[in-house]
Amino acid sequence: MKRYFIIPALLIFLTNLTAQVDTLFFEEYIQMVLDNHPLSIQADLLTERSDAYQKKARGNLDPTLYADFDRKHFKDINYYTEGNVALKYQTAKAVKFAIGYERNAGDFLNNDLTLPERGLMYGSVHVPLLNGLFFDETRYALKEAELINIKNELDRKVILNDLTFEAKIAYINWYMSARQMKINQKYLRFSLENHSSIAELYRNGYSPAMDTLESFTNMKGIENKYLKSKINYTKAIQRVQYYMWDKQQIPLFLKANIIPQSSKLVSRLEKDIMFNVESISMIPNIQKIDLELNFIELDEKLLNESVKPILDLGFYSLLNLGSQQGPLKYGLDDYKLNLSFYYPLLNRKNKGELELNAINKEQVEFEKIAKSRDIELKLIAASESYYLSVDRNNLVLNNIEQLNNLYLLEKEKFNLGEGTVYFLFKRLEAVIKSELDQIEIEASVYMNREKINYFLFLKS
């Protein structure tokens, strides 16, 4: 008889499970992930990284102050004293300017270093005439910084897209497991009530003992399903908690009374998602490959310059500061001209790098074709699964209503003494299975919808 005293206790326990709860809504959860998750914060750092690269590239154009002093003094003899100070500036077009002052003295100073008593002031311009005229390392660094800025923004979008997709899937599983546990809990309560009624009929002599045994066995089967769904619910909570952090990046834990929203995650389950295959080219994952091609083309531009001969022209305009008493002296004939030339005869190194660059470009182009096709096929599969899941969901919802009617009729038949415990629980089992299947199908709709949004980088 102890078995029958367990039934009211289980009913009280199941009733207590419906205590006051708080709801963590889907949109609220996703916003929390975007605001506080470490990966989201890391993605925001990419913007700062882009600014740092821009500053680094522009640093090549910073004016520089140059000074050089060299003296040799031995046994009271000033062999030489050489001093040079200059302010240098390079433009973005590879033209370099400088203004400086040079003064030398000494008993053993080289003739070419002998200057007027007060030294010389000079202004200079340096221009590459072949290699570096149209493109050089400075312009390469500036363009590279621009491409890195674009790349970091694309990387940021990819990180946030991956993060939100995985967080959404975790919530959908939590939502699904919570509803499945609730359904198993509801039907466990039904089976307990049915078992109590059958046990009462047995005690009053209206039902054989075998009915109570069969009822109890079926009840335990439903209880087992309930406990299994509770395990799945616990696992789903653990996954959701991974994405929950506060503003100080401290991990959060869900309280026992917090549940996912009970309403549908999408207001209407319709075939409302369409995509154009041409839109795949605008997806950040494909744009990243295009950007990789831009980097290769940038390298190619610099390598094309490197195969040219180096021919550099430097011109210095000189201002004679004269002697202590003399005036400043400037003449058009006071200048220094420098012309330098360099070219490796075979230049195999730079030509080989150009060939390697061309091969890399071809490889990336094939990678883009393969990646685009892969995304296209995944989108088609997710779209077809989405459309079919919507149809299945509508079909199962209609079927649940019919199965529930059959269960109620079977229960009424049993109460009139015309039915059996076996058929009663079979009808109940069919209703439970259909409702659990409907939840899985609905979750499949949400997941396939999110897959489409994920591949196309769309917000839900």
d(CA 223, CA 10): 10
Quick one: tokens of 344? Answer: 């490796």
Please list, in sequence order, all residues whose beta carbon lies within 8 angstroms of the beta carbon of residue 437, skipping any fewer than 6 positions away.
396
Q: Among 77, 123, 67, which residue's Cα sits nearest to residue 316?
A: 123
* Phi, psi (rounded to 5 degrees) for 147: -70, -40
Strand partners, 228: none
347: left (phi over 0), alpha (psi -120 to 50) or beta: left
Please give the span between the terminal C-alpha atoms of the chain, in angstroms, as a whole number: 56
- Give the type of residue at 37: H
Quick one: tokens of 213? Answer: 């045994």
Q: Give me the half-sphere count of Cα atoms (radius 13 Å) on the Cβ side of residue 296.
A: 18
Residue 283 in contact with residue 457, Cβ under 8 Å? yes
Domain boundaries along the sequence of the chain: 29-57+139-295+357-456, 95-131+308-344
* Phi, psi (rounded to 5 degrees) for 344: -70, 130
Positions in the chain whose pLDDT score sits under 50: 1-9, 11-13
Q: Among 60, 92, 61, 135, which residue's Cα sits nearest to residue 302?
A: 135
Give pLDDT, residue 99: 95
Quick one: tokens of 122? Answer: 């000079």
Coil, helix or strand at residue 100:
strand
- Give the type of residue at 152: N
Give percent helix, percent strand, percent coil of the chain, each to the nearest 5.
60, 15, 20
* Phi, psi (rounded to 5 degrees) for 96: -110, 135
Residue 85 in contact with residue 97, Cβ under 8 Å? no
Look-up of token digits 């990387």: 155
Look-up of token digits 């939840």: 439
Nearest 5 degrees, angle CA 407-CA 408-CA 412? 115
Give pLDDT, residue 368: 93
Quick one: tokens of 163? Answer: 């993060």
d(CA 457, CA 165): 10
Report the CATH fold assignment for 29-57+139-295+357-456. Outer membrane efflux proteins (OEP) (1.20.1600)
Where helices occur in 266-347 by DSSP H, the ranges are 284-306
Residue 264 in contact with residue 56, Cβ under 8 Å? no
What percent of the chain clears pLDDT 70, i.e. is strictly above it? 91
Quick one: tokens of 323? Answer: 């002697």
Residue 241 in contact with residue 253, Cβ under 8 Å? yes
pLDDT tens digits for 2-11?
Answer: 444 444 445 4
Q: How far is CA 98 from CA 65, 89, 314, 318, in A?
A: 10, 6, 11, 12
* Phi, psi (rounded to 5 degrees) for 63: -60, 145
Please list, in sequence order, all residues whose beta carbon lies within 8 angstroms of the beta carbon of residue 431, skipping any fewer than 6 positions away.
187, 400, 403, 404, 407
Q: Are strands 64-74 and 22-24 parallel, antiparallel or unpaired?
A: unpaired
Strand partners, 334: none
Q: How far is CA 339 from CA 156, 310, 311, 342, in A?
A: 48, 10, 7, 11
